């Protein structure tokens, strides 16, 4: 394969530390460690795809074995060792893909091979890509050699899933976390390569490539390669053409789409979405962009345009800022939760496109678009039909709150509550437990006390951490009961956050503290003076315990 026939990601792969963009601190650290002969036994590179993990591994291997030394590391006219490492055929530098060789036998073979010194280079080096794919037994087999390898042996690991690697392995490595490359650096990088290739592309098209690549250099180069190859003679890759090639659409169009959504304009919303879908945008990509715009609407007041973020231009920024002042911020949080659930649904439905359309319709009828406290929405001409839409939605008995998938069944209050329902307000988990006790809901009370790790509690919304011991029907059952007791729909959402300890654990800690305080009290010490064999096993507080 000639140099010109290579894809851009391979043709412009960095060969020395200076060529690596966005990882300057890590490059300098490794360079100094090798220069002063203080390199670690094992390197561990982690980060998203395309930020330079394998490239770093090969440059480190070259730096350790280059015939010219690290300060004159080969960049163009390669020595024999560097050329062999680049071509992946050096006898002393073994590259292994852990995705295809995961077993303990593969690692034992590696360890046996490590007992022999290098043949032609200074160090024998094992590069293991996607190391998290190794089995537990394979990791265990590595531990001893990893901690005390021969002086001539170095390990270099690369992974995108650092959490899957045992802590015992990580602690034996020098870990380097490779960050996403910042937008401005990546833009300048691909623009420079575009010029070297004599390609034609506008800055707006390059900025779109940077945005889609999400900080991955390899993704950016692959997209640039694809975009430049689409050009005919003397044709330029502009933003409109790039959007069509990469299945992307103008963000300004999505902001207008949100405006229709907030107005409750069902026809406009569905028509706009179908145009987006027909343009080649996948439903999952649409929902991810939907989430991004939701984020901007919620946090626009804290976002600044500093030249390094290509997601928003000045016009989009002002438009989002203007609209966000007229909508209820609580609606945005509800929309966010429901969008996340719909993305998960796409994995199990046969026609994701229809699922997204139904998702949008449910959003329109999900929440009444109420005026904000300062009545901004009513005063603004852009939303003068909002009150009318609200009345229409109310007449259709809209659902007042977003529910989890397990809560989707239509819930109707029992008839005995319809005429003489007393308003019940529940503002804390303790009040909910007391109500379960009062209503003799023993099973629900048990689940709440033993298996609920609370993240947040407010009227109408309970957020709990995932607990595998929680009964699978708990969310459905508690939702039914809360609706029956309060005549309001509640959101019970599962969160990835760490919740508080359970009520049972809290009671146990409190009991232990009371017992500890009692053991330190003067009263107990006086008892021991008269009865040395006495033992305190429990404390029953009739009133506040006083240490007299």
Q: Give me the DSSP letters along 467-518.
A: -TTS-TTHHHHHHHHHHHHHSS--EEEEESS--PPPHHHHHHHHHHHHHHHH
Residue with tokens 């292994």, as numbered in its chain: 96
Tokens of 388: 């009318």
Under DSSP, is residue 525 helix (H, G, I), strand (E, B) or coil? helix
In the numeric block, the tokens 């062999």 are attached to 84
What order do you get walking across the sheet with 491-495 strand by strand?
454-458, 461-465, 491-495
Q: Delimit the CATH 3.40.50.300 region(s) of the chain.
A: 8-177
Q: Which residue ranges does the chain devote to CATH 1.10.8.60?
A: 183-245
The angle at the Cα of 333, spanning 479 to 389, to the nearest 5 degrees, equals: 90
> ∠427-433-438 over CA atoms, to 5°?
110
- Element spanning 167, H or E: helix 167-170
pLDDT at res. 251: 66
Exposed/middle/buried for residue 60 (C-beta within 10 Å: 0-12, 13-18, 19+): buried
pLDDT at 312: 64
Strand partners, 456: 463
56 and 179 Cβ atoms separated by less than 8 Å: no
pLDDT the model gives residue 3: 62
How confident is the prediction along the chain (548 residues), in pLDDT tens digits per residue? 556 668 999 999 999 999 999 999 999 999 999 999 999 999 999 999 999 999 999 999 999 999 999 999 998 889 999 999 998 899 999 999 888 887 888 888 888 888 889 998 999 999 999 999 999 999 999 998 998 889 999 999 999 999 999 999 999 999 999 999 988 899 999 999 999 999 999 998 999 899 888 889 999 999 999 999 988 877 899 988 888 888 776 666 788 888 888 888 888 899 988 888 887 788 888 898 888 888 888 888 777 654 455 566 667 778 888 888 888 777 888 888 889 989 988 888 888 888 999 999 888 876 544 433 344 444 444 444 444 444 443 444 333 333 443 444 444 444 333 444 456 888 888 889 989 888 888 888 888 888 888 888 988 889 888 787 888 788 888 888 888 888 888 888 877 777 888 888 888 888 778 878 777 787 777 777 777 777 777 776 654 444 44
Query: According to the model, what pLDDT value does residue 58 have?
Result: 94
Give the torsion through C-alpha atoms of 370, 374, 379, 382, to 10 deg.
-60
Give the global pTM.
0.59
Return d(Cα 39, Cα 509) in angstroms, integer: 48
Q: Write the class of the CATH domain 268-395.
A: mainly alpha
Give dist(CA 477, CA 480) in Å, integer.
5
CATH of 8-177, one of 1.10.1380.10, 3.40.50.300, 3.40.630.10, 3.20.190.10: 3.40.50.300
Question: Which ranges in the chain are annotated with CATH 1.20.272.10?
Answer: 268-395
The DSSP string of 22-77 is S-HHHHHHHHHHHHTT---SEEEEE-STTSSHHHHHHHHHHHHH-TT-GGG--SSS
Q: What is the dihedral of CA 18, 89, 135, 180, to 10 degrees?
A: 20
Question: Token pair of 339, please?
Answer: 């969008």
489 contacts: CB under 8 Å, gap ≥ 6: 399, 400, 401, 403, 411, 460, 479, 483
Fold of 183-245: Helicase, Ruva Protein; domain 3 (1.10.8)
Whether the CB-CB separation of 500 and 453 falls below 8 Å is answered with yes
Q: In the prediction, which pLDDT does 440 show?
A: 86
Q: How far apart are CA 146 and CA 167, in angstroms?
A: 13
Rounded CA-CA distance 427/467 in Å is: 22
DSSP conformation class of 237:
B
d(CA 288, CA 282): 10
pLDDT at 465: 85
């Amino acid at each position: 394969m000639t140099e010109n026939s290579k894809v851009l990601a391979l043709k412009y792969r960095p060969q020395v530390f200076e060529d690596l963009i966005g990882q300057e601190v890590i490059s300098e650290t490794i360079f100094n460690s090798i220069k002063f002969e203080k390199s670690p036994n094992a390197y561990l590179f982690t980060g998203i795809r395309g930020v330079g993990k394998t490239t770093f591994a090969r440059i480190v291997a070259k730096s350790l074995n280059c015939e010219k030394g690290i300060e004159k590391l080969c960049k163009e006219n390669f020595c024999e060792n560097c050329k062999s490492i680049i071509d992946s055929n050096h006898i002393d530098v073994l590259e292994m893909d852990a995705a295809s060789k995961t077993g303990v036998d593969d690692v034992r073979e590696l360890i046996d091979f490590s007992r022999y010194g290098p043949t032609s280079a200074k160090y024998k080096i094992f590069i293991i890509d996607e190391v998290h794919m190794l089995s537990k037994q394979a990791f265990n087999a590595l531990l001893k050699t990893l901690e005390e390898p021969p002086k001539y042996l170095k390990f270099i690991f690369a992974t995108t899933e650092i959490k899957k690697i045992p802590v015992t392995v990580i602690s034996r490595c020098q870990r380097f976390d490779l960050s996403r490359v910042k937008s401005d650096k990546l833009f300048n990088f691909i623009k420079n390569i575009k010029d070297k290739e004599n390609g034609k592309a506008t800055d707006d098209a390059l900025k779109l490539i940077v945005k889609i690549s999400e900080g991955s250099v390899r993704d950016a180069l692959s997209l640039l390669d694809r975009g430049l190859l689409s050009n005919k003679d003397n044709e330029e890759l502009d933003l409109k053409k790039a959007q069509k090639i990469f299945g992307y659409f103008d963000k300004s169009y999505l902001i207008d789409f949100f405006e229709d959504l907030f107005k409750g304009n069902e026809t406009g919303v569905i028509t706009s979405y179908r145009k987006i879908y027909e343009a080649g945008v996948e439903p999952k990509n649409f929902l991810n962009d939907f989430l991004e715009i939701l984020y901007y609407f919620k946090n626009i007041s804290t976002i600044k345009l500093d030249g390094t973020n290509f997601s928003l231009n000045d016009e989009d920024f002002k438009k989002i800022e203007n609209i966000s002042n007229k909508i209820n911020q609580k609606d945005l949080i509800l929309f966010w939760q429901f969008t996340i659930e719909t993305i998960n649904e796409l994995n199990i439905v046969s026609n994701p496109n229809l699922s997204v359309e139904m998702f949008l319709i449910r959003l329109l009828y999900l929440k009444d678009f109420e005026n904000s406290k300062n009545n901004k929405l009513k005063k603004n001409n852009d939303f003068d039909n909002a009150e009318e839409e609200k009345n229409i939605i109310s007449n259709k008995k809209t659902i007042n709150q977003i529910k989890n998938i397990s809560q989707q069944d239509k819930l109707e209050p029992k008839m005995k509550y319809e005429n003489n329902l007393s308003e019940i307000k529940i503002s804390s988990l303790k009040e909910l437990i007391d109500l379960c006790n009062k209503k003799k809901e023993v099973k629900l009370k048990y689940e709440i006390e033993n298996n609920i790790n609370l993240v947040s509690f407010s009227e109408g919304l309970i957020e709990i951490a995932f607990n595998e011991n929680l009964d699978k029907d708990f969310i459905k059952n508690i939702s039914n009961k809360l609706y029956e007791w309060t005549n309001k729909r509640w959101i019970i959402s599962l969160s990835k956050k760490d919740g508080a300890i359970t009520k049972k654990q809290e009671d146990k800690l409190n009991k232990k503290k009371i017992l500890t305080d009692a053991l330190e009290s003067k009263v107990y010490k006086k008892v021991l003076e008269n009865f040395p064999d006495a033992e305190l096993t429990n404390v029953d507080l009739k009133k506040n315990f006083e240490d007299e």
